[in-house]
Chain A
Amino acid sequence: MRRGPLLLCLGLALAPSVARGQARRTWGATPDPPPPVSTAPPEPPPATMGTPVPGSTALPPAPPVAEMATPIVRTPGAIGLKYTLEGVEVRGNKATRPRVVLRYVPFKAGDVLDVDDPELEQTRFRLLGTGFFRDVQLSLRRGTKRGSVILVVDVVERNTIVVDDVWLGISTDADGNGNQRPLTAYGGARVTETNLAGTGIALGGAFAVADGQLALRARLADPNFLRSSWILETEVLYSAARDFFGNHDVLVDDPSVDPSQSYFPDYAVASYKRFGGRVSAGHDLGVSSQIFLDYRLEKIDASLPLAASDHRGLDVEPIDFMLVRGSSILSAVRASFVNDTRDEPFLPTRGHRLLGSVDASLTPLGTDYPYTKLVLRGAQWFPLSWGHVLKLEGFAGAIFGDAPLFERFYVGDLTDLLPDRALDLAFDRRPAPNFLSTDIVEIRYGNYAAKVDAEYRVPLYRGARSIYGVDLFGSFGFYGLANEQDFYNPARGYKGFATWPIDLTFNAGLRIETQAGGFVFGISNLIGLIPVRGQQQGAVR
C-alpha cells in the first residue's frame, strides 16, 4: 500500500517526457510500436464504481477515468471501414510462385475492400488448406492515394513432401508353384510433393511390394489446371502381380510349373502384369462436393494355367481367373461424386461422407473387358453427449459384365480380418474367416458386394503439436459378397442360412492422427491369423 505515493511521484516526474514520446509515436504512417510486454500477470485496474468489497481489493479505489477519445457513431457491432484496393502483395514465399498464392485471393486491384468482409478470413484458411504454408497472415498497408490500401499476404512455407499412405503387415500367401507358405510380409507407401517447384502442382509416387509382387504408381495433379477451377490429374501405373485361387485341393494344368512339383498344388496361381495410365478431371460443386471424370487405358499381360478346377461346395468347377490369357486391353471411363461434410477428416465427430462412382468399360472404347461397375458408399458420424463418437457406414456395389479381377470386389477389402489390397495387389491367399459358417468361404472375388458396420470411438488424447489426437475404437459389421450363380445356383452342400454368402467382421485398436498423417493400429489382422471353424473351403464336404 505504501508504493502508491512513490509511483505517483515518479509518474509526475516522468509525465512530460512520456507524453511527448506518445505524441511522437501515435500519429504517422505506421501505428504505434507495441509497448514492452511483461511476463508477470498485470495488476488489476482500480475499481471506480460502488463500495469495495472489504479484504478483496488489490489496489485502492480510484476516481472514474474519463474516456480517452471521442465516441464515433457507427452501426453497433460493425467497424465499417472500407478502402479501395490498390493491389495485392505476396511476401515470404521462397519456393511458391506468387501466382499460386494469388489463385486463392478473391480480391483484385480496384475492388472496394470492406475490412469486415468474411472473404478475408476465408482467404487465409484457403491458403492454409493448400498445405503449402505453415502460417498465413493477412494485413493492409496504405496505398499511394488516400483511401486506398494494399492487401499484404505474408506466408511461411512448410515442407510439402508428405506421406499419404503407409501399408505394412503380414499375410499368408503361396509360392509360384501354388504351394502355401505360412507368413510373408508386405508393405508400401504413397508419397507426394504437393507443391512441385512452387507451382502448386502435386507430384506423387507410390509402391507396394510383397513376395513376387510389385506395384508402382506415379501421379501428377494440377489443382488449378490452366488457371481454371478444374483439377487435372494424370497417373502412370505398373504392376507385376499374382493372385491365388482355390484352397488346398485344386487341380492345375500349368506348363510354367516345375514338372517335378505336384500337379495337385494348394493353389492355382495367376500371374499378370499391368502397364497403363489414367487422366482425370475434377471440379468443385460447392464447398463440400466434387465431381471427377476419368479415362484410363491399360495393357495387361496374363500368364494363366491352361486349366484349373476347384471345389465349390460338393462340386468341382473350373476356376475363372477373370483375366484374358496373354495380352489384353482395358479401356474404361469413370464418373465419381464426393460429398463430404465431416468436421474433421481423420477423427471426425459429425457430418457425413458420400461417394458414388460409375465405371464403364465398353467395347467401342477398345476394351477386352466389357463391364459396368456401380459403387455407393456412405458414412455418418454422430457425436454422443458423453464425448464419444458413433459412426454408421454402408457400402454397396455391383458389377455387370466381365471385369478384370483387380476391378472385382475382393473379400479382403470387406473383412477387417484379412489384409486390404494396396495398389490393387492382393497379398493374402486365405478365404473369409467365416464366423457364420456360410458359403462366403467359397468366394474370393465377387460381382456384388455390400457391407454395413458401426464404429464406436473413445477420444483418449487431443493435442496441437506432433500428435493431434488418439482415439480408441471398436467396430463391428456384416458384409456379403456374391456372384450371379450364388443367387440362382448356390454352392451345393449348403442349406438354409448357409447359402447366404455373408459373414461378420470386427476390429479394435487405436486411431492416431499425427503431423505425418493418420494411422490405424488394429488387432484384426492378427486375429485373422487365428483359424476359425468353417474357414476351410467346402467345409460341408
Chain B
Amino acid sequence: MRGAAAFAVALLALVVVAPGVASAQQAPSAQQPAHPGALPPRLANYAWDGDLLRASFSYRDVLDPALMKKLSSGLPMVIAMRAYVYPEGQATPVALAPRVCRVVYDLWDEVYRVHVSEPERERDQAAVLDGVLRICTEARDLAVVRRGLLAAGQPYFLGVVVDVNPVSEGMVEQMRRWMSRPTGSTTIGPADALYGNFVQLFARQIATSDKTLTFRTQSVPL
C-alpha cells in the first residue's frame, strides 16, 4: 500500500507539474510561426507609400513540380499567404497582411481564372501560366502596416507563411470525423480505446495544406 500511495503522490505531482513543463514545449498556434526570427531568411523590397509600409517579395518556390502540375488539374487551387509583422527579437506580431489567390484552369478556354483577395482589394483575372505565377506567388507592393503601429527606432521584419490548398478547419473536422468511424467492428469493449482502428492511421496524413512555406524577411529600419 505504501508503494501504491507513493505512486499516487507521484502521479498527482505529475499532473500538477505537467502544465508548466508542457507550456514550454507547447506547439505554437497553427496560425503563426513559432520562432519567426529563426525562419529561413529571404529578401524583400520595402517602400513607404505615405505612412503605409509596402513590401514586395516572392514565394514562387512554394510551387514544386507536383503542385505545378496540379495547378492545371482543372480544379481550384488556393495559395494563401500571411505576412506577420514582428519587432526584431520578439515573437509577438503587431500586424498581419494576408493575401489569398484562388486559381483554376479553364479547360476549354485554355486560360487560368484567378481570383485574388488582398486587404485593399479583390479582383478576378484571366492569365497564362507565367501570369499566374506572378499574380499568385509574388507579393507586389503589399500593404503591410501603417507607421503609427510601429515604434520609432525599432526594426521590424515579416514572418511569412504560405499555404497551398489550406483545408478549412471545418473541413478538417468533418473529414477526420469521417475517417474516425469504425470500419464495421461492432465490438464495444473496455479495451477498444487502447488501440487504433486501421482507418485511424490516416487521420494525420491529411495535412492542413498541400504544402507550407515559411520564411522571414530582412529588417525594416525605422
Contact = CB atoms under 8 A, between A and B. Distances in A.
Contact of B131 (A68, A413, A422, A433): A68
Interface string A112-144: 000110101110011011110000011111100
A282 B186 CA distance: 8
Contacts of A388: 18-19, 22
A336 B48 CA distance: 66
A249 B96 CA distance: 75
A452 to B, nearest CB: 14
B125 A67 contact: yes
B180 interface: yes
Given A34-B68, A233-B184, A58 B43 contact: yes
B191 A31 contact: no
A76 interface: yes
Interface string A280-302: 10101001101010100000000
Interface in B120-155: 122-131, 133-135, 138-141
A488 interface: no
Nearest to B72: A31
Given A129-B175, A131-B199, A413 B182 contact: no
B178 A45 contact: no
Contacts of B179: 125, 128-129, 345
Given A139-B70, A334-B186, A53 B47 contact: yes
Nearest to A391: B193
Interface residues of A, number: 142
A458 B23 CA distance: 9
B82 interface: no
A16 interface: no
Interface stretch (A2-10, A261-269, A323-331, A512-520): A512-520
Given A67-B125, A387-B22, A344 B188 contact: no
Contacts of A336: 186, 188
A520 B195 CA distance: 8
A330 B61 CA distance: 65
Contacts of A284: 181
Given A68-B128, A77-B117, A474-B14, A137 B203 contact: no
A93 to B, nearest CB: 17
A41 B214 CA distance: 11
A408 to B, nearest CB: 13
Contacts of B63: 34, 37
A422 B191 CA distance: 8
Interface string B26-64: 110000000000001011111111101110111111011
A309 B191 CA distance: 31
A35 B141 contact: no
Nearest to B64: A37
Contacts of B52: 50
> Which secondary structure characterizes the binding site on chain B?
mixed
Contacts of B198: 131, 162, 164, 192, 194, 517
A58 to B, nearest CB: 4
Contact of A517 (B14, B135, B201): B201
Nearest to B222: A53
A135 to B, nearest CB: 9
B200 A346 contact: yes
A74 B60 CA distance: 26
**Most B-side CB within 10 Å, residue of A70, A79, A147:** A79
Contacts of A517: 195-196, 198, 201
B111 interface: yes
B180 A165 contact: no
Nearest to B50: A50
A316 interface: no
A159 to B, nearest CB: 11
Nearest to A68: B131
A79 B70 contact: no
A162 B185 CA distance: 15
Given A43-B43, A344-B180, A517-B198, A79 B104 contact: yes
Interface string A170-181: 000000000000
A355 interface: yes
Given A53-B221, A386-B26, A68 B182 contact: no
A341 B177 contact: yes
A340 B177 CA distance: 7
Nearest to A54: B221
A431 B167 CA distance: 51
A-B interface, 6 closest residue pairs, ranked by CB to CB distance from nearest: A140-B74, A34-B68, A50-B49, A518-B196, A345-B200, A139-B73
17 contacts: A22-B130, A31-B110, A41-B215, A45-B134, A56-B46, A140-B73, A165-B194, A233-B185, A282-B184, A342-B180, A343-B177, A413-B190, A506-B11, A517-B195, A519-B195, A527-B7, A532-B1
Interface of B: 1, 3-4, 7-8, 11, 14-15, 18-19, 21-23, 25-27, 40, 42-50, 52-54, 56-61, 63-65, 68-76, 102, 104-108, 110-113, 115, 117, 122-131, 133-135, 138-141, 167, 171-186, 188-191, 193-207, 215, 218-221
